[in-house]
Structure 1
């Protein structure tokens, strides 16, 4: 029995040693992916017909030293982001994968904007103060590091504000089509919809384009909607969602409420409830839902907001109930961690 226990302990110790190194250098994955986006490796391969390119061809086109580039490519190939195609001359060629196409290209269906946002120095710095967040719950690390909350910082720094809007637009281009395919009936019968915290309007543009019977209102802070492009069927309105929300048949909130604590969410939801018709209006929420058993969407927003958090389905139910909602419907539209 003791030998068995010792063997199990040795295996656990061996696995721990492997895992330790993963945690020590895990930050490098984001750094190298960001590097590949900034260099434009995937875009370069795509612009050359999408076919494999040699290291020499890539370094020449990118105008960079082939030696460090080869190490970047080796790192990304090892993780399945690019694939290596052998040649008869022995010099490997590098080709796209579905992952590199979706992760690294600066295009409509890419996640590159979201990666560039989350890996920016402004967003990374607060994570180094996460322990301060735990010890002093009332202060967000973002505010400690930058002297003001993320929204005021964005209002005063247009470059960072654009990063936020591009990242949210990137997410919208992936989520909205899946939502429209999975639960299109949610938008049936609506003649108007206000997107609360609509950013640069990408989400609403996708919705209005697919549901042309809907008149859209893109509602966000004045400095945000002033940068949003005009689009047929969409009105831009600047304001404060804690004060009032423009009236419409439905209020739509996507990835907004997880930035706020329960009390703030209840206040926002009450304003949304006031803006929709009594008895037939609806509030449509798209958010992550933590599944405690499956550990789905177990992510943190603590470094960037003071009271924001991800929630379980039960926690969402409590918040919605306190905001006065009784007729609730949860629809995963293909994703187990989404609340609709």
Structure 2
């Protein structure tokens, strides 16, 4: 028995050592966590993905890439090596190239393209801009004092006031939101097309440059679209078929339509402000067939006992939503990502009779609230 006890102690001790070693590696990853973000920004600014895509499946050699981008091959190699490790790029050798490595894009790497329906470069460039990074340094102050939002502490005004006075930053925000729309709206259309049955008009609240609404009207051509946003936003919005641009304030009034559409809007505001916005939406839709369509994240309940039951994909998805929640705490005064119960609270208090949550192939879900 004594010998069995010693073996058990040895096993436990070895497990503790392994866990401690893994912890040390993880901490190093977190210490340099910003590296991934910075290298992605670098790759986008250099145009690496576009250069690789131009060479197709055959791939491009390091020397060809360095020539195309007019940069140092030695430094470029280290960037490429890092992004191969992260699975953005893939390297291959073949007899036809005399063993020279050639690089191609993976599906992940194609998301770094500035152009195209699936590119997410604009979102990366927004979140890695100095204006968006600076507030993160004030996170602990926000937690301790809760008296001044981190973005305001860094820049002297909230994110919306800053964007209104800085057209370049406002443009960056609009491009990022349009980028997100090109990814999320097809998921909404493919997963929830029936939500738009019988809807003849849609007002997109906080619709930016109208990208989202343009895609919805194209998919459902019977719909009349109203792009509703702040005057300085819609004043520079391009003309789109079937879309009317109207400037205004969603806290005061919302243009009338069969359905009010809010994508990535309500997570910017606290519960009381969401309730106020949703009440204006409810006033704008008809009682018999009106609905409010919300595209926002829904965080699963904090059931830690089920953590091991989640698939790796579900675990990553939850992690992305929790990261977004941190970003809301940094970049907005009172915004947050919500659980289903928190969504029920704001919708009930805004006077809606019922709602349903529809998952789609995106970080967001579709929440449909009925009059």
TM value normalised by structure 1: 0.96
Q: Cα RMSD between the aligned structures?
A: 1.5
Q: Which runs of 5+ in 1 are unaligned?
A: none
Could you tell me how far apart the structure 1 residues matched to 2:114 and 2:241 are? 28
Aligned length: 340
Alignment correspondent of 2:336: 309
Alignment correspondent of 1:12: 19
Q: 1:187 aligns with which of 196, 213, 234?
A: 196
Q: Once the 2 structures are TM-superposed, how far is the Cα of residue 337 of structure 1 from its aligned partner? A: 5.1
Alignment correspondent of 2:50: 43
SS in 2 for 1:28: helix
Which has the higher mean CA deviation after the structures are superposed, 66-75 or 99-108? 99-108
Q: 2:229 aligns with which of 220, 230, 252?
A: 220
Q: 1:121 aligns with which of 116, 130, 140?
A: 130
8 Å Cα contact 1:290-1:337 kept in structure 2: no
Q: Once the 2 structures are TM-superposed, how far is the Cα of residue 44 of structure 1 from its aligned partner? A: 1.1
Q: Once the 2 structures are TM-superposed, how far is the Cα of residue 79 of structure 1 from its aligned partner? A: 1.2
Could you tell me how far apart the structure 2 residues matched to 1:134 and 1:104 are? 36
Alignment correspondent of 2:4: none
Q: Once the 2 structures are TM-superposed, how far is the Cα of residue 102 of structure 1 from its aligned partner? A: 2.0
TM value normalised by structure 2: 0.89
Could you tell me how far apart the structure 2 residues matched to 1:309 and 1:70 are? 40
Alignment correspondent of 2:70: 63
Could you tell me how far apart the structure 2 residues matched to 1:333 and 1:65 are? 43
1:29-178 equivalence runs, <5 A: 29-49=36-56, 51-88=58-95, 89-178=98-187
Alignment correspondent of 1:298: 322
8 Å Cα contact 2:142-2:148 kept in structure 1: yes
8 Å Cα contact 2:49-2:112 kept in structure 1: no
Could you tell me how far apart the structure 2 residues matched to 1:336 and 1:129 are? 26
Structure with the larger helix share:
2
Could you tell me how far apart the structure 2 residues matched to 1:257 and 1:228 are? 22
Q: 2:265 aligns with which of 249, 256, 267?
A: 256
Q: Does 1:238 align with 2:262?
A: no
Could you tell me how far apart the structure 2 residues matched to 1:144 and 1:90 are? 54
Structure 1 residues 58, 266: closer, same or farther in 2, change over 3 A? same
SS in 2 for 1:298: helix
